[in-house]
Structures are given as C-alpha cells and as structure tokens.
C-alpha cells in the first residue's frame, strides 16, 4: 500500500508529458481576437479621401470582410490581387487604412485598383487599437448584425479563402 | 575539412557513449570486473572526442568558415575574436554541443575522482551518465548538426551574432549555467545507481553530496551572472523577469536547494532516503524539462531558440525515457517503509523538512505558473499570460516563510532539542532584528514598512548564525580554536545563509527605493534624482568594430562634487541593422547610477534619456555569489576527501544487495 | 503552422533595447500608476514582453492609449478591463483572481497546505518511533575521526 504512494511522481510526470506533447502542436504566438461574437467597437472616422464620416453602421446590414491594410505593409501588396478577385465575385469588403497617410493610400488604390466598398481612414490607429489589431494585414469577417465572427491574421489568398476564413464568411452569410 | 573532422569526432563520441552506457551496466549485473573497469577509459575517450569536436567547431568560428550554416548565421568577419569564441554557444546547435561538452566533462570528472567508490557503483554511475550522453549527442547529430554545410552557395560574410549576445557576460554565463544545469546529472546518476543496487544509505548520500553541492553552486553563479547580464545589457535596469527561460533554470535551482538540504539529513541521520532520491531525480528532470521548454517553442520567451517541433519531439521522447524510466524505477525500488529512526518535533530534521516543503512548493508554483498558459491553451480555454506581478506576489511570501526557521536552524540539534536551551539568545536575536528593522531604514529614504520587514528578516538570519557561533564557543575562552574546529560544510552554510540575507535586503530595497525617470534632455540640461544631479553634455557619433552609433556624456554630481561620468551608447550593428542600447552604469556598494539613451529628439541635440538610481542593487549579486561560494566551500570538507569506510569494507555486499 | 514572422514589416525592424518616452503627466501619482500599469500589460505581438519593454509600434500605441486614459481619469481596473476587452486575458501579466486564473492564486497555498500536512504526518510518525536503530558505533567512529583532525 505504501508503495503505491511512490507511484505518484510518475503519475504527475505522465500528466505533464501529455501536456507537453499537446503543446508541440499548439502555436503560442497565435492570438485569437477577443471580439469574436461581439459587436464591432464604436468608431467615427473619415472615409479615405472624402469628407463624410463612417461609423460602425458602415459594417452592418450585410456580411462583409473588414480588411486592415497599409501602404507600408508588403504582405498587403501581395494579397491585393486576390482581394480584387473576391470583390469581383461579389464579396463585400471594407478597408481599414491603418496608420497610413491618405495621399499614399489613394495613390496605392489608384495604381492597384480598389476592391473596397468603403475605406475607413485610421491614421492614428485608434480604431485599430479598439479592434485589437496587432499588425497588418488582418481580415475580419463581420455578419449582417455587425458581429465579429472571425479574424484572419496574415495574407488572404486562395488557400486561406478555401480554409477557415472562407468557411467563416460563408457561414456568416447564412 | 575541419567540419568533417568535427562531425566524425562527434560520431565517435556517440559510439563511445553507447559503449559507456552498455558495457559497464551489463558488466555490473554479470559481475564482470573487466567490463566494469572499462567505464573509466570509455568516459575519458568520450570526453576527448567531444572536446575535439567542440574545439573544431570553435576553430571554424575563429576562422570565419562561412561554409558552415551555424557560422554563417551567427558570426561575421567583423566580429571581435572573443565574441567569435562565445558565438560558438550563442546559437542552438553550438549551445547544444556546449551542453554535451559539459556533460562529458562531468562524466570524466566522476571517472577521475571515483577512486574511492566501489567498482559496481562507479560503473553504474558512469553508465547512467553515458546514457544521458547518448541521448544528447544523438539529439545534436540527428536534429541539430552543428557541422552542417552551406553548400554550394557559401556566403561571403556571416549574418553576425545577435548584438545582445555580444557582451563579455555571454562569454561566461552559459558555460557556468550549464555546469550547474548539467551537473545535476551526477546526482541523478548516483540516485539511479543506488536504486539499481537497492541500497540507499548514508554512504550513497555522502558520495553524491559534494557533486550535488558543486553543481548547485555553479547553477547559483550561472543564474546570478544571467541576472547581472540582463541588468546591464538589456538597457532598462531590470534583473529578473520570470520569463519561461529564466524559470527553466530557476526550477532546477529550487529543487536543487531542497536536495542540498535533504542530502545533509540523509547523510547525517540516514533518514528521508526515498525523499532525497526523489529530489535528485527531480532536480535533473527539471533541467531536462528546461531544455525542452527552451528549445521546443511550446512557450513564448524573449530568449528562446528558434522553435522546431521536431527537436521538441526528440527531447520529449528522451524525457519520457529518462524521467519516466527513472520514476518507475523509483516507484519500484525506493524504500517504502519508515526507517524507524526517531526524531522529535523540535529537531533539525523537522526544520530541514520544512525547508524542503517550502522549496518544493516554490518549485511547483513556478512550474505551474510557467505552464499555466500552455495548460489553458491545451484545454481550449484561450490564451493567458502569467508574469512578474503574479510570481512576485506568490514567491516572496513563500521565501519569507523560510526565514523564521533559518534563524534557529543552525543551532537546533539533530534528533531532539529543547527550546529552553537557546530561548535566551533567540530572544536577543528577535529583539535586535526588531530594533534593526525599525531603525536601519532611516539610513536610506526613511521608514518603509517593506524595507523594515526585510531588514528584520535578514538580521534574524544573521543573528541566528551569530548565536550559533556563540553557543559553539560556550565554555572555551578563545575564538580561534572554536572557529578552526568547524568543518568546511559549516562555513559553506554560513556563507550561503549570509548571502541569502543580503539578497532579501537588496531585492526589497531596490524594489521599494528605486527611482526611475524618463526625460527629454538637451545638452547642458540637468536633472535631480535621489540627491544626485545628472547633467547631459550631448551625444556624438562613434564607430565600433562592427557597429556605428552615438555616445552620450552624462556627468553626475552631488553638491557640486563630481561623482561619475557616464557614457551610454546607442548602437546600430552593421551586418544585422539591429539597434542596441548600451546602458552606462556607475556601480557602487550602496547604489548604482544607471543611464540609458532612447532616441534623438529634434534638432537641438536633445535625447530621450532614462535615469535610474538603484540602491543596494549590487547586494543581490554579492549575496548570490556568497551563496554559490558557500556551495563551493563545502567541497573542501575533509569528510568527502576520505574514503568512505563503509564502502571500502563491503563492495561485495553492495554488489549483491 | 507557425505564421511567418516576415509577414509583418514591423517585426523586421524590431529594435532591441530601452523604450524611453517622455510623457508629461498632469499629476505625479498618474506617472506612478503609469509605470506600474506598463509593467502589467503584455505586448500582444511580442515574444513575452511587457508594453514597457517593447518597442513594437503596437506597444507604443498601447502606451499612448494608457497615458490618455490615465489623464482622462479612468481607474486602473477600468483601463485593464478595457485592454482585456480588446485583446483578451492574454494582455494581463497580473492574472485576474476570478475565472480560470483563480487557480493560479490558490495553487501555491494548496501546495503549501498539502506539504504541511505531509510534514506533520511524517513528524508524528517519527516522533512516535521509540527505537533509534542507528549504528552508534559508526557515530562514535565519526566523532573520533572529526576530533582527531
């Protein structure tokens, strides 16, 4: 009976080993959005290159993608053609021009094309902060009620659209 | 060709390690004397091959052989020679080779200094250490070959060593830390050999004690050097961050501290055997766990090596074999019955048991806190962070619990003691601690309840040590013979406890009274901080061997008297483009003045500057050095240099037990 | 599986070293609270750094927001809750005493309780042992040895 007590350490160790094994297939740097299942935070920012203001209302009424981009972000250039293609397929995309200058952003859209229904201009990054953005590009799926359904960090391309991002969008459509 | 020779030597090391694992172990069960005797030459050969391999990798670094992947990624032709040397272990592959070198050095040391051990014992100890060597040499060869070539496209120059690592501290910190980390493998091997032989006794404790103390002392110094390095190199004046990688080296230290104390009980009194052997296994297992955490990427850390799940998998399997295997052996073979040896409630045994409980709780707490984010993630509960505010809040009270016991431990008798015997001096200690706690803070910035408490605790420890000397002197007239009569182990304990007392005061005072200011300073502007006047004289461009940058000049005066001139730097390294802050520190026994430069602001030569006044911060490293020094002093104890009587008498008995 | 760090331009230029900013606070106690809070909030994008230690742009933004919120008279708790709303419990280096993290705060004392119970159990048993089967002969031999030296 006393001998059984001596098996406690090996029991604890095995539990630890299972945890470490599980840990190998987890990514500690991946951070899910805290906003999933919640409404888009309130904001009031100018539309890029225009005089009117946009609010969270601009993101409700229909399922859309909110794409965070900036001209300083090389991956944003890489994903741009795919966003153009998505827009042509009828996907509603709203841009969030994050920590950028209007002049550069407008020139960029001029040159590469504009896939966005609206572009929110956020030069200070204040809306980005409320969204919990930590880099660019990031793409959020927002449903018709203005609820954040999914966040994708990194490039949008055929592969990611065929994966969880696209699935989240299609699910939000229903 | 150097790299190929190095690889060949490493392969030979693997083969000799396999021989070292298999032959003596088999011979110890078969009763084959020649086989057991082969352990020593095999350990020597193994060490020689690893040393050759390491020397060749070092040569490749010194010769700028960029055809080697590790050299190309971690060195540069402009790098000063001594940093090329330390660049050998400034990366995953090279540091693994250093790990192996240190392991084989310990193995070889055991082979050299095991003349007094019974044949069967040293054969098994060396065999277990050989097995650990097989695991790690295999890890190096199969997953992280340091001699991999960049062929056919040999880069013209290397990417340079991370600037953070271009520092004298990094030349000595890793080897010392690894001496400690890996040194616990000796205690582990002794524990496994004793379990295999079924004989855990005072002789076993006596054999493994000096090895354990040495490893523990190295680990103490290694951690101390790491903390000191972080303090002056990271540029923001912190000295302990509770980062997973720091915790990875701290957990074996905590378990090792418990082990060092419980070995004393097992050696002196022959009790707590199962417990001590478990601690020996645990200390080394935590070293291995640390290696896993640092190199697998399961936790995010500022210091972690590049994450690689394949390496993680290898270490995990190795952990399962070594730790799982030894714990199963422990469960099957450790004595489960009470030794029947009596000790009273008030006895040194009980106090040391309390020490063990506290250190074990501290180890488990740090382990739980470190792995908590992983646990939550694995359970799908989301992402969490556990950081310094948590660890400080739970760790500090735990350590404070030790102090009351430390003040009476040194003079409490083994087996049974009566408080009446020392009640009077203990009262004197308590009163002097109270008075010191109430008054000494006024030497600093006035009364502060935390500083007062820390002084109270530290003085209680020191008064306890003093009381012990007084009690030992009782009856004799002269001090000298009394002092001379004390063993090296005793003086080791004195130094270590004294060092601990210094650390308590230092940590509290620097936390409570640290003054920190971030300022915009233009040339000629002054700032006052804790009675010191800092004047900024502007910054000018400088060029180093492999960096460019700016150097500011700050003079410090007290009442017009010049105290120090500080020259903090802001560097940009040429090869990597990385920017580094080199803080300038005026170190002192009672305080450090610390200046770091941020950014150049505007056109008038102004910079953002961080000024720190850090009282008694140095006491922490002095204290930690005393703790480590105490560990080394115990090695001088004559007990360990004499042949163990029991061992000489009955090797056969040991063999067949 | 692990997304590539080079996706982010910011990471490539991430400097190492002190972050030194010179916010002017309207009241000194705000500065004290500021220094405390920057040490308790985690940079969401870094390898285990507080926003005080990190030079990443997001940490800069968070520090500015923190400064603004302090100046706007928000309490520490409100500010931390606001950050948790954006980034989740992940941003707190000082875990909440509620929810799953309460186990973190309880665990050390549970361990200590168990350890103390075990210690009491062991000592009660040892205290009851009547015999001291220790080999006194070797004790004496040792004493003799030590005095010889």
What is the model's pTM? 0.91
Q: Kindly report whether the peptide bond that precedes residue A137 is cis, defined as omega within 30 degrees of 0.
A: yes
| DSSP percent split of chain B into helix, strand, coil, nearest 5 | 65, 10, 25
Which is higher by pLDDT, C142 or B646? C142
- Say what the pLDDT of residue A25 is: 85
Helix (H, G, I), strand (E, B) or coil at B565: strand
* Concatenated DSSP letters of B423-461: HHHHHHHHHHHHHHHHHGGGGTTS--HHHHHHHHHHHHH
Which is higher by pLDDT, B157 or B338? B157
Read off the pLDDT of each residue in B298-322 and give the average, rounded to a whole number: 81
- Say what the pLDDT of residue B23 is: 95
- Say what the pLDDT of residue C12 is: 28
Chains touching C (3+ CB pairs < 8 Å): A, B
pLDDT over threshold 90, residue B142: yes
Closest Cβ–Cβ partner in C16, C127, C134 for B164 = C16
Q: How far apart are CA C133 and CA B338, in angstroms?
A: 12
- Say what the pLDDT of residue C142 is: 57
Least Cα distance to B328 among A13, A152, C96, C81 occurs for: A13
Average the pLDDT over each of B18-32, B199-213, B579-593, C135-149 and give the range with the smallest value.
Answer: C135-149
Q: How do residues A96-124 score in pLDDT, each as one tens digit?
A: 998 888 999 999 999 999 999 999 999 88
Average the pLDDT over each of A31-45, B113-127, B484-498, B639-653 and give the range with the smallest value.
Answer: B639-653
Specify whether the CB–CB gap between B273 and B281 falls below 8 A.
no
Read off the pLDDT of each residue in B10-33 and give the average, rounded to a whole number: 94
- Say what the pLDDT of residue C133 is: 52
Extract the tokens encoding B104. 């084989």
- Say what the pLDDT of residue C144 is: 58
Decide if A129 and C84 are in contact by the 8 Å CB cutoff. Answer: no
Percent of chain B with pLDDT over 70: 96
Average the pLDDT over each of B577-586, C25-34, C128-137 and give the range with the smallest value.
Answer: C128-137
Extract the tokens encoding C148. 């010889």
**Beta strands A93-98 and A118-122, pairing class:** parallel
CATH level 3 topology of C5-94: Helicase, Ruva Protein; domain 3 (1.10.8)
Within 8 A of A123 by CB-CB distance, chain C residues are none
- Binned at pLDDT 50, 70 and 90, residue C8 comes out as very low
Residues 81-140 of C with CB under 8 A from B: 88-95, 100-101, 104-105, 107-108, 111-112, 115-116, 118-119, 122-123, 125-134, 138
Decide if C86 and A134 are in contact by the 8 Å CB cutoff. Answer: no
Which is higher by pLDDT, B444 or B44? B44
- Say what the pLDDT of residue B579 is: 84
Looking up tokens 């040896």 gives B341
What lies within 8 Å, CB to CB, of C68 at 6+ separation is: none
* Widest pairwise Cα distance in chain B: 84
Q: What is the mean pLDDT of chain A?
A: 89
- For residue B380, give the chain A residue with the closest CA: A26
- For residue C4, give the chain A residue with the closest CA: A154
Specify whether the CB–CB gap between B268 and B414 falls below 8 A.
yes
pLDDT over threshold 70, residue B644: no
- Binned at pLDDT 50, 70 and 90, residue B307 comes out as low
Domain spans of chain A?
32-173
Q: How far apart are CA B244 and CA B283, in angstroms?
A: 17
- Binned at pLDDT 50, 70 and 90, residue B342 comes out as confident
Q: What is the mean pLDDT of chain B?
A: 90
**Beta strands B584-586 and B579-582, pairing class:** unpaired
Q: Which residues of B261-289 are buried (b: 16+ CB within 10 A; e: fewer)?
A: bbbbbbbbbbbbbbbbbbbbbbbbbbbbb
pLDDT over threshold 70, residue C132: no
- Say what the pLDDT of residue B105 is: 97
Percent of chain C with pLDDT over 90: 31
- Say what the pLDDT of residue B625 is: 96
Chain C: closest CA distance from residue B253 (Å) = 18
Closest Cβ–Cβ partner in A132, A154, A155 for C87 = A132
Q: How do residues B197-250 score in pLDDT, each as one tens digit?
A: 888 888 889 899 999 999 999 999 999 999 998 888 877 778 888 988 889 999
- Say what the pLDDT of residue C135 is: 53
- Say what the pLDDT of residue B641 is: 67
Q: How far apart are CA B361 and CA C43, in angstroms?
A: 30
Q: Which residues of B460-480 are buried (b: 16+ CB within 10 A; e: fewer)?
A: bbbbbbbbbbeebeeeeeeee
Read off the pLDDT of each residue in A55-83 and give the average, rounded to a whole number: 90
Specify whether the CB–CB gap between B574 and B564 falls below 8 A.
no
The residues pairing with B551 across neighbouring beta strands, listed in sequence order, are B540, B569
Interface test with A, best of C87, C99, C125 (most A CBs within 10 A): C87
Chain A: closest CA distance from residue C76 (Å) = 18
Q: What is the mean pLDDT of chain C?
A: 77
CATH fourth-level superfamily of A32-173: Glutaredoxin (3.40.30.10)
Q: How do residues B410-454 score in pLDDT, each as one tens digit?
A: 889 888 888 888 888 899 999 999 999 999 989 888 889 999 999
Q: How far apart are CA A54 and CA A117, in angstroms?
A: 12
- Binned at pLDDT 50, 70 and 90, residue B305 comes out as low
Read off the pLDDT of each residue in C75-104 and give the average, rounded to a whole number: 91
The residues pairing with A150 across neighbouring beta strands, listed in sequence order, are A141
- Binned at pLDDT 50, 70 and 90, residue B49 comes out as very high
Decide if B374 and A2 are in contact by the 8 Å CB cutoff. Answer: no
Helix (H, G, I), strand (E, B) or coil at B621: helix
pLDDT over threshold 50, residue B646: no
Extract the tokens encoding A103. 């002049």
Q: How do residues B344-373 score in pLDDT, each as one tens digit?
A: 888 999 999 999 999 999 999 999 999 999
Complex confidence, ipTM:
0.88
Read off the pLDDT of each residue in B566-578 and give the average, rounded to a whole number: 88
H helical segments located in B88-168:
92-112, 119-143
Domain spans of chain C?
5-94, 100-148
Q: Phi and psi of B87, rounded to 5°?
A: -65, -20
Extract the tokens encoding B171. 């030349």
pLDDT over threshold 60, residue C145: no
pLDDT over threshold 50, residue C149: no
- Say what the pLDDT of residue C146 is: 52
Q: How far apart are CA B237 and CA B615, in angstroms?
A: 12
- Binned at pLDDT 50, 70 and 90, residue B2 comes out as confident
Length reported for chain A: 174
* Concatenated DSSP letters of chain A: -HHHHTTHHHHHHHHHHHHHHHHHTS-TT----TTTTSBPPP-EEEBTTSSSEEEGGGG-SS-EEEEEE-TT-HHHHHHHHHHHHHHHTT--EEEEEES--HHHHHHHHHHH----SEEEEETT-HHHHHHT--SSSEEEEE-TTSBEEEEEES---HHHHHTHHHHHHHHHH-
Read off the pLDDT of each residue in B156-165 and give the average, rounded to a whole number: 84
Interface test with B, best of C12, C17, C32, C107 (most B CBs within 10 A): C17
Decide if A28 and B297 are in contact by the 8 Å CB cutoff. Answer: yes
Average the pLDDT over each of B175-189, B347-361, B563-577 and give the range with the smallest value.
Answer: B563-577
- Say what the pLDDT of residue C10 is: 30
Q: Kindly report whether the peptide bond that precedes residue B196 is cis, defined as omega within 30 degrees of 0.
A: no
């Amino acid at each position: 009976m006393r001998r059984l007590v001596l098996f406690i350490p090996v029991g604890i160790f095995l539990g630890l080993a299972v945890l470490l094994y599980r840990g190998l297939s987890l990514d500690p740097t991946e951070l899910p959005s805290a906003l999933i299942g919640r409404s888009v935070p309130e904001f009031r920012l100018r539309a890029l290159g225009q005089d009117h203001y946009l609010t969270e209302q601009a993101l409700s009424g229909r399922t859309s993608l909110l794409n965070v981009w900036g001209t300083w972000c090389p991956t944003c250039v890489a994903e741009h053609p795919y966003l153009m293609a998505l827009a042509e397929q009828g996907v509603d995309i709203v841009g969030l021009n994050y920590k950028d200058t209007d002049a550069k952003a407008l020139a960029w859209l001029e040159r590469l094309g504009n896939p966005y229904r609206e572009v929110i201009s956020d030069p200070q990054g204040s809306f980005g902060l409320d969204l919990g953005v930590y880099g660019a590009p990031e793409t959020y799926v927002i449903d018709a009620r203005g609820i954040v359904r999914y966040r994708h960090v990194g490039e949008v391309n055929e592969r990611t659209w065929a994966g969880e991002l696209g699935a989240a969008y299609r699910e939000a459509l229903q | 060709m150097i790299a190929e020779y190095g690889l060949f030597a490493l392969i030979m090391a693997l083969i000799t390690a396999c021989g070292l694992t298999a032959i003596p172990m088999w011979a110890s069960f078969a009763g084959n004397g020649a086989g057991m005797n082969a352990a020593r030459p095999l350990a020597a050969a193994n060490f020689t091959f690893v040393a050759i391999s390491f020397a060749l990798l070092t040569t490749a670094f010194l010769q700028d052989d960029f055809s080697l992947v590790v050299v190309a990624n971690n060195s540069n032709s402009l790098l000063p020679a001594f940093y090329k040397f330390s660049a050998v272990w400034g990366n995953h592959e090279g540091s693994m080779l250093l790990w192996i070198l240190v392991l084989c050095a310990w193995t070889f040391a055991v082979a050299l200094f095991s003349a007094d051990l019974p044949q069967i014992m040293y054969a098994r100890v060396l065999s277990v250490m050989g097995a650990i060597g097989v695991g790690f040499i295999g890890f190096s060869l199969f997953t992280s070959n340091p001699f991999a070539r960049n062929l056919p496209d040999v880069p013209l120059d290397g990417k340079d060593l991370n600037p953070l690592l271009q520092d004298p501290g990094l030349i000595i910190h890793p080897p010392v830390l690894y001496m400690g980390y890996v040194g616990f493998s000796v205690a582990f091997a002794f524990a496994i050999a004793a379990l295999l032989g079924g004989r855990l006794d005072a002789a076993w404790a006596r054999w493994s004690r000096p090895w354990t103390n040495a490893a523990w002392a190295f680990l103490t110094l290694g951690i101390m050097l790491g903390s000191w390095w972080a303090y002056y190199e990271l540029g923001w004046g912190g000295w302990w961050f509770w980062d997973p990688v720091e915790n990875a080296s701290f957990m074996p230290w905590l378990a090792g501290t418990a082990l060092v104390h419980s070995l004393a009980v097992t050696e002196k009194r022959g009790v707590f055997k199962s417990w001590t052997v478990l601690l020996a296994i645990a200390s080394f297992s935590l070293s291995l766990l640390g290696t896993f955490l640092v190199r697998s990427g399961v936790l995010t850390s500022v210091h972690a090596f590049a994450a690689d799940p394949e390496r993680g998998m290898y270490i995990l399997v190795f952990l399962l074999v070594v730790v799982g295997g030894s714990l199963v052996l422990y469960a099957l073979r450790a004595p489960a019955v009470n030794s029947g040896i009596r000790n009273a409630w008030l006895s040194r045994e009980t106090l040391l048991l309390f020490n063990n409980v506290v250190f074990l709780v501290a180890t488990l707490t740090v382990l739980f806190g470190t792995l908590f984010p992983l646990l939550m993630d694995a359970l799908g509960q989301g992402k969490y962070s556990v950081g310094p505010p948590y660890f400080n809040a739970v760790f500090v009270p735990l350590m404070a619990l030790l102090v009351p016991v430390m003040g009476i431990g040194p003079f409490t008798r083994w087996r049974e003691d009566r408080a009446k015997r020392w009640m009077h001096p203990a009262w004197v200690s308590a009163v002097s601690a109270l008075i010191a706690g109430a008054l000494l803070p006024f030497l600093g910035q006035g009364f502060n309840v935390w500083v007062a408490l820390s002084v109270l605790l530290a003085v209680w420890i020191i008064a306890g040590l003093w009381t012990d000397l007084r009690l030992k002197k009782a009856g004799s007239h002269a001090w000298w013979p009394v002092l001379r009569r004390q063993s090296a182990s005793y003086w080791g304990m004195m130094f270590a406890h004294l060092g601990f007392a210094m650390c308590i005061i230092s940590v509290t005072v620097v936390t409570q009274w640290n003054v920190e200011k971030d300022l915009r300073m233009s040339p000629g502007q002054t700032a006052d901080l804790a009675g010191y006047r800092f004047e900024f004289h502007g910054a000018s461009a400088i060029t180093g061997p492999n960096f460019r940058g700016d150097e500011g000049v700050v003079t410090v005066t007290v009442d017009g008297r010049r105290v120090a001139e500080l020259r903090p730097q802001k560097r940009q390294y040429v090869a990597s483009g990385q920017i580094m802050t080199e803080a300038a520190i005026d170190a002192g026994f009672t305080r450090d003045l610390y200046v770091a430069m941020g950014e150049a602001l505007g056109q008038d030569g102004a910079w953002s500057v961080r000024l720190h006044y850090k009282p008694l911060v140095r006491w922490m490293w002095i204290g930690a050095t005393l703790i480590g020094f105490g560990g080394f002093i115990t090695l001088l104890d004559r007990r360990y240099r004499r042949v163990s009587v029991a061992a000489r008498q009955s090797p056969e008995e040991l063999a067949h037990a | 599986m692990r997304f590539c760090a080079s996706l982010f331009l910011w990471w490539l230029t991430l400097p190492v070293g002190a972050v030194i900013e010179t916010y002017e606070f309207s009241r000194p106690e705000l500065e004290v609270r500021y220094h405390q809070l920057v040490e308790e909030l985690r940079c969401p994008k870094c390898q285990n750094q507080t926003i005080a230690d990190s030079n990443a742009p997001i940490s800069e933004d968070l520090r500015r927001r923190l400064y603004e919120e302090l100046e706007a008279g928000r309490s520490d708790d409100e500010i931390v809750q606001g950050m948790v709303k954006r980034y989740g419990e992940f941003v707190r280096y000082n875990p909440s005493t509620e929810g799953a993290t309460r186990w973190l705060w309880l665990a050390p004392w549970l361990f200590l309780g168990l350890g103390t119970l075990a210690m009491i159990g062991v000592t009660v048993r040892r205290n009851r042992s009547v015999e001291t089967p220790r080999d006194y002969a070797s004790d004496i031999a040792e004493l003799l040895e030590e005095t010889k030296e």
